[in-house]
Structure 1
Amino acid sequence: MTYDLNRKVVLITGAAGGIGSATARQLYARGASLVLTDMQQSAVDCLAQEFDGARVLPLALDVTDAGATKAVVRKTIEKFGRLDVALANAGISWRGTPGTIMGCDEREFEHIVEVDLFGVWRTIRAALPEVVRNEGQILVTSSVYAFLNGVANAPYAASKAAVEMLTRSLRVELGGTTATASVVYPGWTATAIAKPAFGGNALATRMSEVVLPSPLRRPIQPEQMARAIVKGIESRSPRIIAPGRWASINLLRGVFNAVMDWHLRRHARFQGLLRELEAQQPVRSRVPAHTGATANG
């Protein structure tokens, strides 16, 4: 049966980003009430102005703070009396310049993992009791990076592979309940986090052109990804992949990954770009200053 979103309460982390805000609009149109969270209160306040104040709760949230994440769930219940769906969408990547494992700033690498993996874990942990009680859903934004080589973007890709497994594990663990968990796999989406690979950084753009054929590099708009997410919620789909051309690669990932790794290791031009990247590796700040970027959005 179709999961009816009318009068459901949905929590979205990373709501101010492209995918987060587009999904919020789609959910609101289906009749859902929204809890919108992101790093900056001003960002979620701005988005909340698009909606009826009785059906929206904008809150600043750093998902690396477990106490603050649990407080958001408490405030959600105080306002709406329930929480039905949690979309763990908040995430970050490099601050504009890609980095190799050898050349990157160590603290920035660890901060990305802290947000993209442990931030998701903390969101799930805080929301899960209420979601299970209401026979609802947990959704986690992974990425097609879960089944691509994460070269020059290792902390992001490793985190997306990890949250895929985290969510798959959760879905099976929820088998004795009427709640479910779903993995969201955005392909390249026209958002700030993907901009370096699409002209925002010359070296990253050239590397992506070598790694992927043209059809797989075509970005989609956040609204297309949002439509896929809402459709997936309504059908309780275990996997939500958009655009659809990535679905076959997901099914064939074992073969695809082996060929891709072999190819890139021996590709002279690509290896040359990696050496160029390491030579140009900037001196990075020792205090990460990410603000509100969202996974693929």
Structure 2
Amino acid sequence: MTGRLAGKITLITGAASGIGRATALRCAAEGARVALLDIAEKGLRETCSHIAGGQAFPVTVNLTQPDAVRTAVAEVINHWGRLDGVFNVAGGSGRAHGDGPVDRCTIEGWRWTLDLNLTSVFLVCKYATPALLATRGAIVNMASVLGLVGGDEDFATHAYAASKAGVIGLSRAMASYYAPQGLRVNVIAPGLIATPMSRRAQEDPAIQARLPQLQPLTGAMGAPEDVAAAAVFLLSDEARFITGAVLPVDGGWTVR
């Protein structure tokens, strides 16, 4: 590793598994001390077990609850004295709660999905931004290819798509507003990545058969480490002249 995050304090949400865990491990390997936020306490402990002692600070928190998020961010800043970067990964599918095509999406499914994927990002950004302004830090927010392009019958979760498009809009608005103060805000929009969240796609033979068309660069699902590598770059000083960017990590999905 290059040590490109040496000495930095980085907060990562959704760190109990998948892309969040992969990014936490990569950031730590690059020299950062990492604050790990997630609702899944067991998963957080497992992530921490792979990081050198004292380099990780886990906080179990429901990221849709304003008071809980404010307290969690304050704990991180009190623990290490400052904050240099945030990667908002936490989120998920709302299918089990009623998400689907707009005519069949339930009100509960809409609200649950927007809270999980968009309100959580807003809350972490809200409470972390003052500390990041003090360090001229960086925020990376995770969207999805479905926030950029429409999904067909295999990906017809309209609340999810709206939530991820909202992440892009929020991030670019923040990037514009805070640029004169030195705070960078960028977005990663992954395609299908092999994580616990994408288990439905991993186990669906029809979707697997479509991968050469959906993600033609490899014809396969991406790995969490593919997204982690992009996040580390955007969090590092190597990306000091980049803000408001939306980086697809999607094997070519959005160029088709």
Would you say 1:167 and 2:167 are equivalent positions? Answer: no
The residue aligned with 1:189 is 193
Q: Distance in 1 between matches of 2:14 and 2:51?
A: 17
Q: Distance in 1 between matches of 2:141 and 2:125?
A: 9
The residue aligned with 2:52 is 52
On the 8 A contact 2:143/2:167 being kept in 1, the answer is yes
Larger mean Cα displacement after TM superposition, 107-116 or 231-240: 231-240
Q: Distance in 1 between matches of 2:117 and 2:199?
A: 18
CA deviation digits over 1:20-72, x for unaligned, max 9?
11111110011100110111222111211112331111111111111111111
Please tell me the root mean square deviation across aligned C-alpha atoms, in Å.
Answer: 2.6
Deviant stretches of 4+, over 4 Å: 95-98
Instruction: State the shift of 1:106 in Å.
Output: 2.6
Instruction: State the shift of 1:179 in Å.
Output: 1.5
Change in 2 beyond 3 A, CA 1:213/1:67: closer
Q: Distance in 1 between matches of 2:117 and 2:215?
A: 28
Aligned to 1:169, the other structure's residue is in SS state: helix
Change in 2 beyond 3 A, CA 1:130/1:195: same
Percentage of matched positions with identical amino acids: 29
Unaligned runs of 5+ in 1: 250-255, 257-297
The residue correspondences of 1:112-127 to structure 2 (distance < 5 A) are 112-127=113-128
Q: Distance in 1 between matches of 2:4 and 2:184?
A: 14
On the 8 A contact 1:3/1:233 being kept in 2, the answer is no
Q: Which amino acid aligns with 1:162?
A: G
The residue aligned with 1:199 is 203
The residue correspondences of 1:8-27 to structure 2 (distance < 5 A) are 8-27=8-27
Q: Which amino acid aligns with 2:203?
A: G
CA deviation digits over 1:172-212, x for unaligned, max 9?
11121122111111121111222222324x67x38x949x5
CA deviation digits over 1:97-119, x for unaligned, max 9?
97332334331231011111111
Larger mean Cα displacement after TM superposition, 230-239 or 212-221: 212-221
Q: Distance in 1 between matches of 2:176 and 2:138?
A: 13
The residue aligned with 2:222 is 220
Unaligned runs of 5+ in 2: none
Structure number with higher relative contact order (C-alpha < 8 Å, ≥ 6 residues apart) = 1
The residue correspondences of 1:276-291 to structure 2 (distance < 5 A) are none
Would you say 1:136 and 2:143 are equivalent positions? Answer: no
On the 8 A contact 2:16/2:41 being kept in 1, the answer is no
CA deviation digits over 1:214-261, x for unaligned, max 9?
6276211111221122122223243333246356x2xxxxxx7xxxxx
The residue correspondences of 1:218-257 to structure 2 (distance < 5 A) are 218-234=220-236, 235-236=238-239, 237=242, 238-243=245-250, 245-246=252-253, 249=255
Aligned to 2:59, the other structure's residue is in SS state: strand
Q: Which amino acid aligns with 2:225?
A: E
Aligned to 1:215, the other structure's residue is in SS state: coil
TM-score by length of 2: 0.86
Q: Which amino acid aligns with 1:197?
A: A
Aligned to 2:228, the other structure's residue is in SS state: helix
Change in 2 beyond 3 A, CA 1:91/1:222: same
On the 8 A contact 2:94/2:112 being kept in 1, the answer is no
TM-score by length of 1: 0.75
Greater C-alpha Rg = 1
The residue aligned with 1:62 is 62
Q: Which amino acid aligns with 1:127?
A: A
| Count of residues paired in the alignment | 245
